Amino acid sequence: MSGPPVDVHDEGAAGAGGLHPASLMLDMPVSLWGELLRALRRAFDRVPRAELPAPLRPYAGWTPESLAAARPRKAIARAIVEDPRLREEMGAAMESQDALGAAVELDAVRLADAHGEGTAVAALVAKGRWDDLTVLAAVAAEREASRARTAADASQVRDPSHLEAARRRFSTDLAAARDERDAQRRRAEAAEERWRREDAARREDQAEIDRLRGRVAELEGKVIEERRRRDRRVAGLRRRLLEAESRLRVDDARAARVAADLERLTADLREALAPSSMEKRPVAAERVAEAALEHTVPRSVIAAVSGRPCRLPPGIGEDTPAAVQALLQVAGLETVLDGYNVTKDVRGRPHVSLPDQRHWLVKMGGAVAARYGRRLTVVFDGTEEQVATPPTARGVRVVFTSGDEIADERIGAIVEGLAADVPVLVVSSDREVREAAFALGANVVSSASFIVGAGA
């Protein structure tokens, strides 16, 4: 319950009339301090001694009459001005709470007329209404002076002219006191108006500060979101760069293979047409025809862009026969078929025996390998039937599972074992196989789409 020290003669903290409130209180007649000191004494009982302002602790046990001495009054005046809580406790300890409430609405003179000067002084001090206290102190001082002059004049024998002069002087002094009271009231009203304007300005400033803080928080959120979008764009661009580099390497390898195939075909053609090898012409012609067959691909569908996964041409769905044709044209493509899932599709051979199913699928895979020049791996469950002699075809590798392993697991292991930049196509209608292959970056088509697309 303490604040910074206040100089009772500090002009910078002065109220109306140029006096500091503490100086104003000390200038009041002692007769006006009665109710104020009684309220203060009761406040001492409400507040622990350790929480009292340090200058007042020595007087905590004094009576109101003792507190009216000059030294304690000086300490009390300073403490009351400095400590708003002490004023609150004094107001709560006042006997006349009606006067305390009226101190908010009535001016000093009317408050004194209604509740007495001493009570009015205590109420104004508790509310911190120093300007009104100035008015009341001036009126009270004038009244004291008037009473003193009246008493002094009554003790002496005066002639009528002297009494008339004294009356006129008193009338003049009373008018001056009233003028001073009105001036003090106007200054108090002006001070209150300034306070209201300053409070309104403070509220507007606080509202503007709150608005600016909200705007700053909004901008910070936008900055964070923009950074996230930038990071995502950078990551996307880096990924596309890596994909482009991978495609470039694949394209270089495909160009090298095509050049090698052309050289081989040229050599075979020259060998077939050489006069010295006429007896070998049927064999050479057969090899040329076989090579030509291997490179016959659909003209209606362009090749997909190599990658992991490969990117299909515009307008082609992911799981369509056209997608199968576009993917089979990708150089270096590894194709893995879920054997019995393909043969048992309604478009396959679901009603024939297992050996006939395997024979049909391997034969179709050989035709696809010859037509597109690609390698195929067909995975069959080996637990359904013991196979002594599996079917074979050029360009087709047949794999049977063993033990507790199933085709789904072997297909995942094959895809996972390929290099990260090798394009791969997995053919199955099984949901678990498709999800696992897709997670490994493979292109995935259903059995029906492969049968239609590869056989077209």
356: which 2 tokens? 């006939």
Residue 316 sits at the vertex; the CA angle it makes with 252 and 311, to the nearest 5 degrees, is: 30
Length in residues, the chain: 456
CA–CA separation, 136 and 33 (whole Å):
13
Span of 40-54, 167-181, 352-366, 437-451 with lowest mean pLDDT: 167-181
User: What's the pLDDT at 2?
Assistant: 46
> Residue 144 is inside which H or E element, if any?
helix 130-154
Query: Mutual orientation of helices 407-417 and 431-439 as an angle, nearest 10°?
Result: 10
Using CA of residue 400, residue 403, residue 409, residue 414, what is the dihedral sign?
negative
CATH architecture of the region 321-455 = 3-Layer(aba) Sandwich (3.40)
User: What's the pLDDT at 214?
Assistant: 92
CA nearest to 374, candidates 324, 330, 415, 440: 330
CA–CA separation, 448 and 456 (whole Å):
12
User: What's the pLDDT at 244?
Assistant: 66
Task: Please give the order of strands across the beta sheet that includes 396-400.
Answer: 396-400, 375-380, 334-338, 424-427, 443-445
b/e map of 236-270 (b: 16 or more CB within 10 Å)? eeeeeeebeebbeebeeebeeeeeeeeeeeeebee
pLDDT digit string (tens) for 84-104?
A: 888 888 888 887 777 777 777
CA distances from 370 to 140, 333, 451, 454 (A): 123, 14, 16, 11
Backbone φ and ψ of 446, nearest 5°: -80, 165
pLDDT digit string (tens) for 113-123?
A: 888 888 888 88
CA–CA separation, 307 and 250 (whole Å):
8
pTM: predicted TM-score of the whole model, two decimal places: 0.38
Question: What residues does CATH 3.40.50 cover in the chain?
Answer: 321-455
pLDDT digit string (tens) for 278-328?
A: 444 444 444 444 444 444 455 578 889 998 899 999 989 989 999 999 999
